[in-house]
Structure 1
Amino acid sequence: MAQRENSWWQRHKFKLNGLVLILPFWFLYESMNMTFPAALPQQQVGPFTVTPSPLTNKAPYQHDGDWVKDFMLQFCDDCVPQIRQAYMTIAAEQPSLEQFAEAHLGILHGDNHMQHVHALVQSPTAANQKLWLLIEDWQGEQHIASWEFTLPQS
């Protein structure tokens, strides 16, 4: 039988196994107890009531070469089926429908309870920007709203 040297590594390597077994529980706890930033004020956008909430307090990030920030939008009951398409962006001035529609990132998606959007950020370092939401219903009417929003800096 081979003799092992009684080194520090031989005496303590089993503790690494214990750490590997404990870490998943830490990440499970973190994922089950998420905290979100405060929601922006609720607004009436045409016939729709909308409450946007940023998902994190982090600065915008790059996605497919564009700068985006993630938001969750809560609509009034039975409002989502009445929406044909909706776009969100962060810019200093109100964009046109063509500017909204040129990028696929600003399109709202989700289910009847909650919509998610990767809001396109025109300039991640500019000050005095607004959060713009354009909603088009099935009759072709467009409704635009904006919220005062300060981008967090990294």
Structure 2
Amino acid sequence: MNKVAAVPPSPLRAFWLKWRFHINVLLLLIPLGFMPKYFADAALFRGDTGIGERIVGDVQVGPWSLTLAEFRNEGPLPDPAGPMKFFNAALCDTCAKQVKATYLRIGKPRSLRAAGVIFFGTPYRMGAALPVPERTPADAELWVTMEGWDGSMHQGSIALSKASPATLAWLKERGAKP
């Protein structure tokens, strides 16, 4: 008769056999820790929580007005084209059918050709990615240009310090260049 000696399991296999249930539970619980942020982001993208994390306020542009909001209450994000700051806006109910296009820019535009970035989306939830030049002064203004279906153009402004304190802090941190 041949007797085969039992070989003890390797230390790694013994560890796995003893702790596999706990490791699997941990692998399920770790993603659950990120779920609140995931659902908050999903609600923000759907528009369930409003038009942004921080509502700037109403900006009067000629006879029209719009509610401006920072998409995220943070400084500009890096982008290959330069730092970008995201803003959302919603037109007033009465002017939604009268406005053809809405533009946003740092500094006063010289003409419609230099009006800035265009807002995209529905009149009640528009978005724009605004490039932030590194030479932006601390007293800069955000200019909103609106073009009506009748060809009229109106402009309004809001101080950058009021519209996005996080962007101003970001500029100070980077040492705004003259």
TMscore range, shorter length: 0.7 to 0.9
In the aligned structure 1, how far is the partner of 2:96 from the partner of 2:31?
37
Residue 147 of structure 1: CA displacement? 0.8
Residue 125 of structure 1: CA displacement? 5.5
Q: Answer yes or no: is 1:67 the counterpart of 2:87.
A: no
Task: Kindly report which structure 2 residues correspond to 1:26-65, keeping only aligned pairs within 5 A, or say none.
Answer: 26-33=33-40, 37-65=53-81
Q: Answer yes or no: is 1:99 the counterpart of 2:114.
A: yes
Residues 68 and 119 in structure 1, CA contact (< 8 A), matched pair in contact too: yes
Q: How big is each residue's C-alpha offset from its partner over 1:104-127, in whole Å with a ceiling of 9 and x where there is no partner? A: xx2101113211111232336532
Q: How many residues align?
A: 148
Task: Kindly report which structure 2 residues correspond to 1:84-123, keeping only aligned pairs within 5 A, or say none.
Answer: 84-91=100-107, 94-96=108-110, 97-100=112-115, 106-123=117-134
In the aligned structure 1, how far is the partner of 2:115 from the partner of 2:80?
16
Q: Which amino acid aligns with 1:28?
A: M
Q: Identical aligned pairs, as a percentage?
A: 24
Distance 1:126 1:44, change over 3 A: closer
Residues 89 and 122 in structure 1, CA contact (< 8 A), matched pair in contact too: no
Please report the RMSD computed on the Cα atoms of aligned residues, expressed in angstroms. 2.8
In the aligned structure 2, how far is the partner of 1:76 from the partner of 1:47?
11
Q: Which amino acid aligns with 2:28?
A: L
Task: Kindly report which structure 2 residues correspond to 1:13-32, keeping only aligned pairs within 5 A, or say none.
Answer: 14-32=21-39
TM-score w.r.t. the length of structure 1 is 0.76
In the aligned structure 1, how far is the partner of 2:152 from the partner of 2:137?
31
- The answer to which structure, 1 or 2, has the higher relative contact order (CA under 8 A, 6+ apart) is 1
Listed as ranges, the gaps of 5+ residues in structure 1 are none
**Secondary structure class of the residue paired with 1:41:** strand
**Secondary structure class of the residue paired with 2:34:** helix
Residues 72 and 117 in structure 1, CA contact (< 8 A), matched pair in contact too: yes
**Secondary structure class of the residue paired with 2:54:** coil
Q: Which amino acid aligns with 2:96?
A: V
Distance 1:82 1:6, change over 3 A: same
Structure index of larger Rg: 2
Q: How big is each residue's C-alpha offset from its partner over 1:47-66, in whole Å with a ceiling of 9 and x where there is no partner? A: 22211111112211233413
* Greater Cα shift, 3-12 or 138-147: 3-12
**Secondary structure class of the residue paired with 2:38:** helix
Higher helix proportion: 2
TM-score w.r.t. the length of structure 2 is 0.68
Listed as ranges, the gaps of 5+ residues in structure 2 are 1-5, 42-48, 162-166, 174-178
Q: Answer yes or no: is 1:148 the counterpart of 2:159.
A: yes
Structure 1 segments, 4+ long, off by >6 Å, are: none
